[in-house]
Structure 1
Amino acid sequence: MAQTHPWRSELLSMMKLAWPVVLAELGWMLQGVVDVIMVGRLGPVAIGAVALGNALYYAPSLFGLGLMLGLDTVIAHAYGRGDHEACHRWLAQGVYVALIATLPLMLITFGLSAVIPHFGVATELIHPTRTYIDILLLGTLPLLLYAASRRYLQSVGQVRVITITFVGANLLNWGGNYVLINGKLGLPALGVGGSAISTVLSRCLMALTLFAFAWRYEKQRGHPLFEHWARPVLREMRELLKLGLPAATQLVLEIGAFAVATVLAGKISPTALAAHQIVLNYAALAFMVPLGISAAAAIAVGHALGAGDPKGARLRALLALGLGAGFMLCVTVLFFAVPKYLIALYTHDSAVTAIGVPLFALASLFAVFDGVQIVASGALRGMGETRISMWANLIGYWAIGVPLGAVLCFVFHMGIFGVWIGLATALILISFALFAAWRKKSGALLHASSPAIASH
């Protein structure tokens, strides 16, 4: 008999899975915000050093975090079919991939730090930026181990501990910043370096806490984590990389496109850059919600497919898409209705406001599409498909969006509005492409399973 899926209970299950993940994404973003706020009292050079340091550090680090995204697929599928031994084994393979990736990522980041003097940045920024990056390097392995353990816990439905861990990590980061930047409790004032040390310590806490909880979870089901730790299996590590490499590349392509847009904004004028950054900050904050829903979609779809239930997988993906689009529709209304108020929370500069208001209008036009594209990407990842998202981002941003934005900006003299039209065009095209890909793939899975369903 075919399984039934009451959409209300599925919606409640999706929301129960999604909200802690959304809070975790917001907690991740808050770490960077805390660093900037806490060093702000040291002056503009310190703020610039942290901003530039984070921009250079996170490009390689996000690639490393992307490698761990493949765990969503393989662990969720294993959990869905009730194979807890495989869940444990995949976590071990993820840890081995993290260990292997750490040194190359650190070397790349160190190389970026070494060439900062050749970037043409202000001389006074060079030393504090390099200090900040070089200390952050020490947190690369804890960051990747955190990512592996988080993906494992999410995929087996243990999501609340991730939110709790981020609360603790942010409190430690805030307290550490206060003490180490300003030299409290008898410690020397380390400035920007103190902020970096605090961030590294918070990442160590995240990794240790999540691994401790994973160990406790395994022990409760009679399978102590470290007593039955799996050996490296090259075939499984290759399978993980086959999923993770495209996902990692997708992250870098997307973040890179917005980084280029920021560079273009800086070439126009400081006022345009300020307006661009304010609107982008709000858009990025709103994006954390569909990003969390996307992770929940990958897990929920993976659970259903692991259990041999493509109909349930399709329903869960549709509900996630509805949640993501619905939230971003609310964001659209907010951006369109009160842009001046949102800008005023940052600045009362009339020139920045004059540019920022129409930018918010553009952001409101693509907000729903942004929500759809990231949730569709998560649903595809839950199906074991990560290459389509990579290609969609490569073509959408780098073959169309970024070049179009540059041409509209500098050739047609549309300024920052041209840059944002390019970004909006890319997001809309990517959204249609990924939704169509998800619809086609989920339809194919339903069609393939229909003879088996009919035979029962």
Structure 2
Amino acid sequence: MRETKTLKEKLQLFLVVMMPILITQLGLYAMNFFDTTMSGQAGAEDLAGVAIGSSLWVPVFTGLSGVLLALTPMIAQNIGAGNKEEVPYTVVQGLYLSIAVSIVIIIGGGLVLEPILNLMSLEAEVHRVAYYYLVALGFGVIPLFMYTVLRCFIDSLGQTRVTMFITLLSLPINVFFNYVLIFGAWGFPRLGGIGAGVASTITYWSILGITIYFIARVQPFSTYQIFKKVYKVSFAKWKELLILGLPIGFTIFFETSIFAAVTLLMSEFNTATIAAHQAAINFASFLYMIPLSFAFTLTIAVGYEVGAKRFDDAKQYSKMGIWMALGMGVIAGLIIYVMRGPVSGLYTNDPNVARLIQQFLIYSIFFQLSDALATPIQGVLRGHKDVNIPFVMALVSFWLIGLPTGYILANYTEFGPFGYWIGLITGLAVCAAALLWRLYTVEKRAKVQLER
């Protein structure tokens, strides 16, 4: 990042930083997208199993990686304030924390995975695929979270093109191993949906190796000498990271886990409905990478300006990013409406499942509009290190308003499974409105500080 004087300069710099982030996010989610679509071609049971496994994994990954995202505003503000000597120490402590978090996930997953799947009324084959898909993913948890930390460091320097390049390098690896392991090509065992989990783990280790090489050997990252000194574990630094990161992580977790909760509740429906629900969620989540990319960029830009005490510049980035994200949300909604037929064909050859996917996709249009407002605002607030109130807002919106509304509509009206989607839409809309109010409050407070 660098200081900008005019709105035109800000727009140019914002796009330079944001476009690689967008490509990176689409690339990272493309791995999950390919897991689901390619498994769907192997059969409805494989699609349902991978989709359910993914729905349980994504909230855990996004929530806990959200804790590590605290590194982005911390490093961005350090750089903006000229405290570059603090950066290597912060990154290394983040790596230590990521390993600790990974170990907790692996142990916790081993204890609760089977009981959670047993709560769902799944067919035996769907249960088997979901279980072993997640077991396979477990071997990739450590490299995935370590990569998240290193990516925060790279992005905080505004070098988002590097993470884009690394992600694009890893995609062919993921697609190749998905193909040979799901379908048993070229002498590899035919693992079906479970092969998608193995392919993802191989990809995560590859991403970590490539990223370490870039940070150790390529400018400007090598000047920070991240791996030169072995620091002792600092629980004080972990505490600082967790104080900022836990509310971020829980905010993301409450938003993403509600989809997993809906999947659990929808297990009372048949396999076709579960598969269609998860396929539609998968595609809607793919488009969700657009507002999420705006949020990451806004955290970097706003964090940099706040660190330099340029609150007016931070507000300009905020307005610009939110309006652009809203425009992209409208475009995403139109894409879903027009392309819902071809999209359903990516996931299944079953006409009944395809019809249900198209119906769910109509509801997902409203997800895009709410996310286009709420998600960028969350990015702005993280740039201000304002994370506690948004956490409470997410909890209330999704779990106390959205999920109960969906349950009532699904079980006591004729909406059936679509009632849960209406509940999700309601929760997202309430959260968006609450976050808009919070943004107004935070920026007003920043203005008062500037005038003192």
TM-score by length of 2: 0.89
- The one-character-per-residue Cα deviations of 1:409-435 (angstroms, maximum 9, x if unpaired) are 222333244323322221111111112
Structure 2: runs of 5+ lacking an equivalent: none
Cα distance per residue 1:33-83 (max 9 Å; x no partner): 222344445433333332333333334333331221111110111111222
C-alpha distance after superposition, 1:217-257 (max 9, x if no partner) = 46766442222344333222111011111111122211121
Match of 1:443 in 2: 444
Q: Which amino acid in structure 1 is aligned with residue 383 of structure 2?
A: G
Q: Does 1:101 align with 2:86?
A: no
2:76 maps to which residue? 76
Listed as ranges, the gaps of 5+ residues in structure 1 are: 452-456
Equivalent position SS for 1:82: coil
The alpha-carbon distance between structure 1 residues 255 and 204, as it changes in their structure 2 partners (threshold 3 A), is: same
Equivalent residue runs for 1:85-164 within 5 Å: 85-115=85-115, 118-119=118-119, 120-164=121-165
User: Which residue identity is paired with 2:69?
Assistant: L
Please report how far the alpha carbon of residue 386 of structure 1 lies from its aligned counterpart in structure 2 after TM superposition. 1.6
Residue identity matched to 2:45: V
Instruction: Confirm or deny: 8 A CA contact 1:218 1:224 kept in the other structure.
Output: no
Amino acid at match of 1:425: T
Counterpart CA distance in 2 for 1:198 and 1:407 is 39
- The SS at the match of 2:122 is coil
The Cα shift of 1:333 comes to: 3.8
Q: 287-296 vs 410-419, which deviates more?
A: 410-419
Q: CA deviation at 1:330?
A: 1.9
Matched-pair contact (CA < 8 Å) for 2:41–2:347 = no
Which residue number in structure 2 is paired with residue 210 of structure 1?
211
CA distance, structure 2, for counterparts of residue 286 and residue 34 of structure 1: 14
Q: After superposition, give the CA deviation of every residue in 1:264-295 in whole Å (9 maximum; x if it has no partner).
A: 44545666556544543442222110101100
Q: Which residue pairs with 2:58 in the alignment?
A: 58
The residue type equivalent to 1:196 in the other structure is G
Deviations 1:303-342 (A, max 9, x none): 1111121111111111111111110122234445665665
* Match of residue 454 from structure 1: none
- TM alignment of 1:271-310, pairs within 5 A: 273=274, 276-310=277-311
2:228 corresponds to: 227
Q: Residues of 2 paired with 1:166 and 1:32: CA distance?
A: 13
2:407 matched residue in structure 1 = 406
Q: Which amino acid in the other structure matches residue 13 of structure 2?
A: S
CA 1:430–1:276: 2 relative to 1, 3 Å: same
CA contact 1:81–1:307 (8 Å) conserved in 2: yes
Distance 1:381 1:260, change over 3 A: same
State whether structure 2 residue 397 is matched by structure 1 residue 396: yes
More displaced 10-residue stretch of structure 1: 416-425 or 295-304: 416-425
Alpha-carbon distance between aligned partners in 1 of 2:424 and 2:448, rounded to the nearest angstrom: 36
Further displaced range: 246-255 or 390-399: 246-255
* Aligned counterparts of 1:169 and 1:15: Cα–Cα separation in 2: 23
- C-alpha spacing 1:287/1:196, structure 2 compared with 1 (3 Å): closer
1:385 shift after superposition? 1.5
- Identify if the C-alpha distance between structure 1 residues 47 and 338 changes in structure 2 by more than 3 Å, giving closer, same or farther: closer
CA gap of 1:134–1:379, structure 2 versus 1, over 3 A, is same
Larger displacement relative to structure 2 (307-316 or 331-340): 331-340
Runs of 4+ in 1 over 6 A off after TM superposition: 218-221, 347-358
Q: Partner residue of 1:242?
A: 243
8 Å CA contact 1:116–1:126 kept in 2: the answer is no
CA pair 376-34 structure 1, distance change in 2 beyond 3 A: same
Instruction: Specify the code of the residue in structure 2 equivalent to 1:236.
Output: K
Counterpart in 2 of 1:327?
A: 328
Structure 1 residues 220, 371: CA separation in 2 closer, same or farther (over 3 Å shift)? closer
1:199 corresponding residue in structure 2: 200
Residue type of the alignment partner of 1:102: S
Report the 3-state secondary structure (helix = DSSP H, G, I; strand = E; otherwise coil) of the residue aligned with 2:139: helix
Structure 1 window deviating more from structure 2 (310-319 vs 249-258): it is 249-258
One-letter amino acid matched to 1:88: P
Structure-2 change in CA distance of 1:222 and 1:251 (3 Å) = closer
Is it true that 1:384 corresponds to 2:385 in the alignment? yes
Corresponding position: 1:260 with 2:258 = no
Tell me, in whole angstroms, the C-alpha distance in 2 between the residues paired with 1:348 and 1:127: 22
Change (3 A) 1:223 1:375: closer
Distance in 2 (alpha carbons) for counterparts of 1:142 and 1:224: 20
* CA distance, structure 2, for counterparts of residue 439 and residue 11 of structure 1: 22
Q: Pick which of 63-72 and 52-61 moved more.
A: 52-61
Tell me: CA distance 1:420–1:211, structure 2 relative to 1, closer, same or farther (3 Å): same
Aligned residues: 449
Over 3 Å counting, the alpha-carbon distance change for 1:407 and 1:297 in structure 2 is same
Q: CA deviation at 1:351?
A: 7.0
Normalised to the residue count of structure 1, the TM-score between the two structures is 0.88
C-alpha contact 1:218 1:225 (8 A) present in aligned 2: no
For 2:220 and 2:230, locate their aligned partners in 1 and report how far apart those are by CA, in whole Å.
12
CA contact (8 A) 1:20 1:160 kept: yes
User: Is the 1:113–1:134 Cα contact (8 Å) retained in structure 2?
Assistant: no
**1:436–1:227 Cα change, 3 Å:** same
| Residue type at the aligned position of 2:137 | L
Partner secondary structure for residue 228 of structure 2: coil
Q: Counterpart amino acid of 1:308?
A: K
CA distance 1:178–1:297, change in 2 (3 Å): same
Q: Which has the larger radius of gyration?
A: 1
Query: C-alpha displacement at 1:444, in angstroms?
Result: 0.8
Alignment partner of 1:30 is 2:30: yes
Number of the residue aligned with 2:435: 434
* Percentage of identical aligned residues: 25
Partner Cα separation in structure 1 for residue 126 and residue 345 of structure 2: 28
Which position in structure 2 is the counterpart of 1:179?
Answer: 180
Distance 1:336 1:49 in 2: 27
Mapped partners of 2:217, 2:139: distance in 1: 27
Corresponding residue for residue 20 of structure 1 = 20
Structure 2: distance between partners of 1:99 and 1:262: 29
1:76-124: CA deviation from partner (whole Å, max 9, x where unpaired): 1111122222222211111111121121110111123343663342223
CA distance in 1, matches of 2:138, 2:361: 36
Residue number in structure 2 paired with 1:316: 317
Cα displacement string for residues 177-223 of structure 1 (whole angstroms, at most 9, x for unaligned residues): 33344555555555555433321111011112122212234676644
